[in-house]
Amino acid sequence: MSTAALKQDINPGLQTSLMAFVTDEVTHAVLTRTALERAWANAEILAGGVEEAMGTLTGIETPQLLLVDLSGTGDMVGAVERLAAVCDAGTRFIALGDHNDINLYRRLLDLGVQEYLVKPVSPETLRAAVEKPIEQPEDKTPVPSGLGQIITVIGTCGGAGASSVAVNTAWILAREKDKRIALVDLDLYFGTAALFLDLESGRGFREALENPERIDALFIERAMVRESENLYVLSGEEALENAFSFDPQALDRLFDYLRRDFDMVVVDLPRFAARSQIASFHEPFTAFLVSPPTLSGMRDSMRLSELIRAQAPHADMKMLLNKAGERKTGELSKADFERNSELSIDRVLPFDLKTVTKSNANGTAWAEAEKKGKAVVPLRGLIDGLCRDEDEAAPPSIWQRVLKKRA
């Protein structure tokens, strides 16, 4: 169908909730069915790709959500920039394509594309991607300037060293960056945050999680253990015979109080809890995934990264390869890990027996035991970046800059 024919059926004065340009019948059918089931007002599911979208969108009020199939397009990045030039401010963009390339994926997201889906796309994945921005519009309310950032640290498998990374991240932020830090260990049975810093866990953490109405500023003051002027630890050491379950709203209430009182909250989040709790963390939110350079670590890094993208798409995810060089055989190289997982490694933390031994013996953080330890230096570099990101507003994406000019 020609562009002119497509435009005849579109009311130029009425903004649509969804406009899609797709090149295959399966995608067309899934989107049409979803629009009917959800009763989305004035949704338009059209045949075509980039050129049809360009011609149709020119001169009309563009939709809340635009989906375009970029399959067969030689320059996908250039196509996105061209589409941005004909769209109004506030339009969000989901791209479909036939290139399974992690670098392309990252470039498109850097441009401001909300999601890039590689075909063939399952109906469930397509529905989830389309429904989210329509039913959960982006919150334009700015984060209050005094609201502390959350950093969750998740180990991808047993022995990954996530607790060590969490403790040392908190220590460097507090001692070297002069940030007021809360370190929260959510493993109330086997957590080691307090142990690593030669502290005793406070009391009342379990009771507060079971009874969220008890969580207030006074409770936090009493339950947290002070490591230094800037670093406070909230943890537990429950008897194994004491079974408990807590109200999910308790964490929301807890972190609400902590973020008001601390610059940053570092959370040692057990991977068994990540599945149910990761969605409860709100912006600003960074997630560290910590994995050893092993096959099982790589597999579960992929699974956990998918979980985070699905349940907490607002999270800034960082991938850390920990204990590199600990084993003489059987380790994956950084290149192999990235190629097979399609995940980008942000930092490699070498195994440093000297620093770990000294740290454990003295009950101190790595950076206190060895300021220039082999694992300390790259971790400090990652933390430096977080602190810069906190102080400097991120520049708008190309998509946002072009739309802003048209606003």
Q: Of 40 and 15, which is predicted with more confidence?
A: 40
What is the edge-to-edge ordering of all strands in the sheet holding 44-47?
Answer: 44-47, 18-22, 65-69, 92-97, 115-118
pLDDT at 395: 55
Amino acid letter, 379: L
CA distance 224 to 231: 10
Query: Residue 60: pLDDT above 50?
Result: yes
* pLDDT score at 62: 77
Structure tokens at 15: 């903004």
Per-residue pLDDT of 74-129, as tens digits, reads 888 888 888 888 887 667 889 999 888 777 877 787 777 888 888 888 878 887 88
Q: What is the pLDDT of residues 238-250, one digit of tens each?
A: 888 887 777 667 8
Instruction: Decide if pLDDT at 10 tops 90.
Output: no
Is the peptide bond between 284 and the residue preceding it cis, with omega within 30 degrees of 0? yes
Proportion of the chain above pLDDT 90, given as a percent: 37
Cα–Cα–Cα angle for 39, 69, 84, rounded to 5 degrees: 90
**Hey, what domains does the chain have and what are their CATH numbers?**
3-135 (3.40.50.2300), 149-391 (3.40.50.300)
* pTM of this structure: 0.62
Q: If pLDDT is split at 50, 70 and 90, which confidence band does 195 have?
A: very high
| pLDDT tens digit sequence for 275-329 | 878 877 877 889 999 999 999 999 999 999 999 988 888 889 999 999 999 987 8
Torsion of CA 25, 110, 385, 325, to 10 degrees: 50
Q: How far apart are CA 199 and CA 52, in angstroms?
A: 64
Cα end-to-end distance, the chain, whole Å = 31
Q: What is the Cα–Cα distance from 26 to 29, expressed in whole angstroms?
A: 5
The pLDDT score that the predictor gives to residue 399 is 61
**Spatial contact of 318 and 292, defined as CB atoms under 8 Å apart:** no
Using the structure block, give the residue that is written with the tokens 């007021």: 180
